[in-house]
Amino acid sequence: MNLKSLMVDTKSAWISYPGLDGFEVNIVNLGREKIVALRKNCLETKFDRKSKIPIEQLNEKKFIRDFTNATIKDWKGLKLSYVEQLMLVDIEAEDPDRELEYDQENAELLVSNSVDFDNWLNEVVNDLDNFRSKRDRKAVAETGEVAE
C-alpha cells in the first residue's frame, strides 16, 4: 500500500463553538502544502530604502481574507447575542435571537474583529482530531487513548 494513495488535501467537519449553544462552523482542515501556498500568496515584496534590499512582508488583510475563505465554508446557529459576545456590535434595535447568516464578508469580519474566534479557528484548523473519521473519534472517546 502506498501512503500517497491514502492522503487527502483537505477535509471538512462541523465543529461546535464552545460556550455558544447551537453555534457550529463547517471548517476545512488544510494540509501543510495548502497553508504554505496560501501564506506565500499573501507575501508582498517591498523595497527597503535604507538597506537597499527587497523585504517580504505578509499582507495581513489579504491573509485573513484568504485563510477565512479557505477554512470556513458555512455556519449555523450564530445568534446576534453570540456575535455580541465575540465582538463589539450594537444590536439594540435587533432581535438578539435572530441568526446571522453565513457569507464570506460576515466570516471575514468575524475573524478580523474577534480575537477569541480567530484564536479558536486557528486551534481547530490545526487539530487533526477534529477531522478524523467518526470511527476513530469514537474509539478515542471511549478509551481516552490514541493507538500508537
The answer to the question of residue 135 being in a domain is no
CA distance 58 to 128: 26
CA distance 10 to 131: 9
The answer to the question of residue 141 being in a domain is no
- Decide: 44 and 59 in contact? Cβ < 8 Å: yes
Over residues 125-132, mean pLDDT: 86
Total number of domains constituting the chain: 1
The answer to the question of residue 78 being in a domain is yes
The answer to the question of residue 139 being in a domain is no
Backbone angles phi, psi at 129, to 5 degrees: -60, -30
Report pLDDT for 132: 83
Q: The pTM is what?
A: 0.78
Q: How confident is the model over 108-119, as pLDDT tens digits?
A: 999 999 999 999
The answer to the question of residue 50 being in a domain is no
Q: Domain of 104?
A: 8-29+60-128
C-alpha cell at 67: 485563510
**Per-residue pLDDT for 141 more than 50?**
no
**Per-residue pLDDT for 85 more than 80?**
yes
Q: How confident is the model at residue 146 (pLDDT cuts 50, 70, 90)?
A: very low
CA distance 105 to 68: 10
**Per-residue pLDDT for 135 more than 90?**
no
CA distance 58 to 70: 17
72 by Cβ neighbours in 10 Å (0-12 / 13-18 / 19+) ranks as: buried
As a whole number, the mean pLDDT across the chain is 87
Q: How many residues does the chain have?
A: 148
CA distance 131 to 12: 7
The answer to the question of residue 34 being in a domain is no
Report pLDDT for 62: 95
For residue 2, list its beta bridge partners. Answer: none
